[in-house]
């Protein structure tokens, strides 16, 4: 077990009961554990300048890892809220036809989502990012960035293969890139996966007419 020294106060420290039992660790001269938290043996501090130790990060992770009893921390509610706020701002811009501004907000949300810690569930990240990529693709279609829209929908389809809306938007991007046969395939998959409204039917017919 190797502990890295960090700048003091890197993480908040946690309260420890005064009468909590303290256990020494073999091989560590100035470390004890109380309430599952590391402390210096001399002053019983988690961050101690005099002893030149900072156990704040280790203790933070230890607390997180014990939250659900399975050794997996809960997803960050702060990141989730910020991502949702940015997505909602993007949706508002989209509704008012400010498509470039909406795309920028979706991009901000994607960048933030990518900062999630590695222990967050892959399913959470997949659901979160697939919606953002699909929304941004819709913006790109509106402002004529068809290649960008295509690549965004490619990502979405890899994350959610059976999402009809993503196939529909992929088809629209391919159509505008004059890749008509591929657009037909995408529109047909959109119908198979539930996006079988009049817009998809009309788009499919237009693509077939170009062959």
The per-residue pLDDT for range 9-53, each reduced to its tens digit, is 455 677 888 788 888 877 777 888 887 788 888 888 888 888 888
Distance, in Å, from the CA atom of 112 to the CA atom of 116, rounded to the nearest integer, reads 7
Distance, in Å, from the CA atom of 22 to the CA atom of 33, rounded to the nearest integer, reads 5
The alpha carbon of residue 58 and the mean position of all alpha carbons in its chain are separated, in whole angstroms, by 24
Q: How far is CA 121 from CA 9, 70, 113, 124, 176, in A?
A: 28, 13, 12, 5, 36
The residue count of the chain comes to 211
Return the residue matching tokens 């996006």.
Answer: 195
Average pLDDT over residues 176-186: 96
| Domains of the chain, start order | 1-74 (no CATH), 77-209 (1.25.40.10)
The per-residue pLDDT for range 89-141, each reduced to its tens digit, is 999 999 999 999 999 999 999 998 887 766 666 677 788 899 999 999 999 99
Answer yes or no: pTM beyond 0.85. Answer: no
């Amino acid at each position: 077990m190797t502990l890295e020294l960090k700048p003091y106060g890197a993480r908040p420290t946690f309260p420890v009961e005064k009468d909590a039992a303290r256990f020494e660790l073999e091989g560590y001269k100035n470390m004890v554990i109380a309430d599952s938290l590391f402390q210096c043996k001399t002053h019983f501090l988690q961050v101690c300048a005099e002893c030149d130790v900072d156990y704040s990060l280790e203790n933070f992770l230890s607390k997180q890892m014990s939250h659900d009893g399975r050794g997996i921390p809960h997803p960050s509610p702060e990141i989730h809220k910020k991502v949702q706020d940015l997505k909602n701002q993007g949706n508002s811009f989209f509704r008012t036809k400010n498509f470039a501004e909406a795309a920028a907000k979706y991009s901000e949300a994607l960048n933030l989502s990518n900062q999630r810690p590695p222990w967050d569930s892959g399913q959470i990240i997949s659901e979160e990012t697939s919606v953002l990529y699909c929304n941004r693709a819709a913006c790109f279609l509106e402002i004529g960035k068809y290649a960008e829209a295509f690549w965004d929908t490619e990502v979405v389809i890899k994350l959610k293969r059976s999402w009809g809306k993503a196939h529909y938007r992929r088809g629209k991007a391919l159509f505008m890139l004059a890749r008509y046969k591929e657009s037909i395939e995408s529109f047909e998959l959109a119908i198979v996966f539930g996006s079988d409204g009049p817009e998809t039917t009309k788009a499919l017919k237009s693509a077939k007419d170009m062959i």
